[in-house]
Structure 1
Amino acid sequence: MASIGAALGLRCTVRALDLQGRARRNWLLTASVAIASGIWTMHFVAMLGFRVAGTPIRYDIPLTLLSLLVAVVVVSAGMLTVGHYAHARFRALTLGGLGTGFGVAAMHYLGMAALRLDGSVGYDATRVAFSVLIAVAAATAALWAALSVRGITGAVVASLVMGLAVSSMHYTGMSAVRVTVSGDGAVLPGATAMEFIFPLTVVLGSFLFLTSAFVALSPTARERADAAMARPVEEIELPTR
């Protein structure tokens, strides 16, 4: 899911960088929603497999939705930074990578803060810090790809690398989790994963798949121009008497 979101985001960014004004902004915002949705969906698809022996698990709905909003806002800020400083690559990568990376990490830990279980959740500080570094590196790599990648093959490779990096950030963060089960048997607030998380991930996943298909099948203006220039000129045979 993270790779699909990254692939869609990169394709939208390619279109954005060939345009100016409102059209560029709209494509960058579409790219932001795609990347953020892919990252968020990856996180909660992975959380569908999270179990703690001795306690059920619930999710606080407002905090879960807030984590999605944070993901969209910070990735949008990063992508708009790329669009604004497209010709100043170092500044775009530095500002955008740091902001987006910390935002992705904030999304992850907000999502974890939404966890409700019969006990307490703690973290190993060193592994948390390492997960944040991975998030910044993944975000910077994604923004670099947004500025550099043009071809389909490069976009596929870049999206797979970003998906792997985002997943690495997630599981590094999860390895920092320390759960202490109290066993009080108290009624937990919130919704179960199947009641809330699963339907929302299906909706976002469907959005990514359908939009990816649409964007992937529509070439950019530059690709159409390159294809036209590369097309061989057919020789016309004049009729002979």
Structure 2
Amino acid sequence: MQGTIDGFSYGVVTPVVAYVMACLGGALGLRCTIRSLRETSAWKPGWLALGAASIGSGIWTMHFVSMMGFDVAEAPVTYDVQQMVLSLVVAVVVVGVGVFIVGYRGATRPALVSAGLITGLGVAAMHYIGMAGMRLNGRIEYDTVAVTLSVVIAVGAATAALWAAVSVHGFLASLGASLVMGVAVTGMHYTGMSGIVVHLHDIDNSQALAGDAATSIMLPLLIGPVTFLLLAGVIVMFDPLLVLGEGEWSAPGTPARGQQRTAGRTQPPRGASPAPLRSGPTGPGSPYPPRSSRDTPTW
């Protein structure tokens, strides 16, 4: 007997909230990775780790918020706690591998290909590990085409996100990248879910297997990642170097517009030739203009 699957038992609430969480994690992760590019000290790994944890937590939260809307009409669905926690660990670790690769190697083609492949496969693994934690009186089958397409979307989304993390510098640009990333990650989830078929066992399906109901287990587990995302958001908001400004991407300690100031005096950009000193007679008929205090170099 084939079960009747409903992936939107709460209507549009779960997909909208899931998308928002994916965007939030992506936005925080991108800003933290961008912030790490300004660091050459011991703070760089910390910013990269915070970015990886933000993206991983956002993806995991998106997945299980979406799963709260998943229902099989003929059989109660429960979840295994250990499998859910394992999927969270996998999400954070594999995203961390990708973020650290591009954080230290930059947006080179080999770095993006390897990091995007690792991260994308890890995100897909997180999804299907979480699905393996489902418990119901039936057998779940996956459509090969849908699974393959979901993995391709995950790899493509991961590669695009990692490229944006080291290439998109402006606040609005990174915000737009996080919105696109949210679409890709959420699309990957629902693409994989579209290929699910549940074959119920010939037993009393009114009894759930060992495990916890979605609302009773997911809501407490979601408190941790959501709280972390909020704290990461506070850190990003109050970091002065992440506030949008004209000189955000100048070298550390260098004012905007390529000028350097030393002891209150303005110096020309490095490599610029100083203005030539005027010499020769001055006065009526002279080719040189009268001297003034402006002719005296300040460097």
The alignment's TM-score, normalised by the length of structure 2, stands at: 0.73
AA of the residue aligned to 2:74: G
Where does residue 297 of structure 2 map in the other structure? none
Q: Match of 1:120, SS? A: strand
CA spacing shift, 1:214–1:163, aligned 2, 3 Å: same
| More deviation, 212-221/131-140 | 212-221
**Higher RCO structure (Cα 8 Å, ≥6 apart):** 1
Where does residue 211 of structure 1 map in the other structure? 232
Shift of 1:17: 1.0
Query: Could you tell me which of 23, 26, 31 is aligned with 2:51?
Result: 31
Q: Distance in 1 between matches of 2:192 and 2:103?
A: 30
Query: Could you tell me which of 90, 111, 116 is aligned with 1:70?
Result: 90
Q: Is the CA contact (8 Å cut-off) linking 1:3 and 1:162 kept in structure 2? A: yes
Q: Is the CA contact (8 Å cut-off) linking 1:121 and 1:180 kept in structure 2? A: yes
Give the helix-richer structure, 1 or 2.
1
Shift of 1:107: 0.2
CA spacing shift, 1:229–1:222, aligned 2, 3 Å: farther
Where does residue 133 of structure 2 map in the other structure? 114
Where does residue 247 of structure 2 map in the other structure? 226
Q: Is the CA contact (8 Å cut-off) linking 1:2 and 1:41 kept in structure 2? A: yes
Q: Number of residue pairs matched?
A: 229
Q: Distance in 1 between matches of 2:229 and 2:235?
A: 10
**Structure 1: gaps spanning 5 or more residues:** 231-241
Where does residue 119 of structure 2 map in the other structure? 100
Query: Could you tell me which of 185, 203, 207 is aligned with 1:166?
Result: 185
Q: Is the CA contact (8 Å cut-off) linking 1:11 and 1:216 kept in structure 2? A: no
Show structure 1 runs of 4+ deviating over 4 A. Answer: 221-225
Where does residue 218 of structure 2 map in the other structure? 197
The alignment's TM-score, normalised by the length of structure 1, stands at: 0.90
Shift of 1:182: 2.1
Q: Distance in 1 between matches of 2:234 and 2:213?
A: 31
Where does residue 46 of structure 1 map in the other structure? 66
AA of the residue aligned to 1:229: A
Q: Match of 2:199, SS? A: strand
Q: Distance in 2 between matches of 1:31 and 1:131?
A: 24
AA of the residue aligned to 1:213: V
Q: Distance in 1 between matches of 2:173 and 2:219?
A: 32
AA of the residue aligned to 1:82: V
Q: Distance in 2 between matches of 1:91 and 1:34?
A: 24
Q: Match of 1:165, SS? A: helix
Between Structure 1 and Structure 2, whose CA radius of gyration is higher? 2
Where does residue 237 of structure 1 map in the other structure? none
**Structure 2: gaps spanning 5 or more residues:** 1-20, 249-254, 258-299
Q: Match of 2:212, SS? A: coil
Q: Identity, % of aligned pairs?
A: 48
1:197-227 superposed Cα distances (whole Å, 9 cap, x missing partner): 1111133123212321330342327956717
Shift of 1:191: 1.3
Q: Distance in 2 between matches of 1:58 and 1:70?
A: 21
Matched, 1:146 2:173: no
AA of the residue aligned to 1:75: V
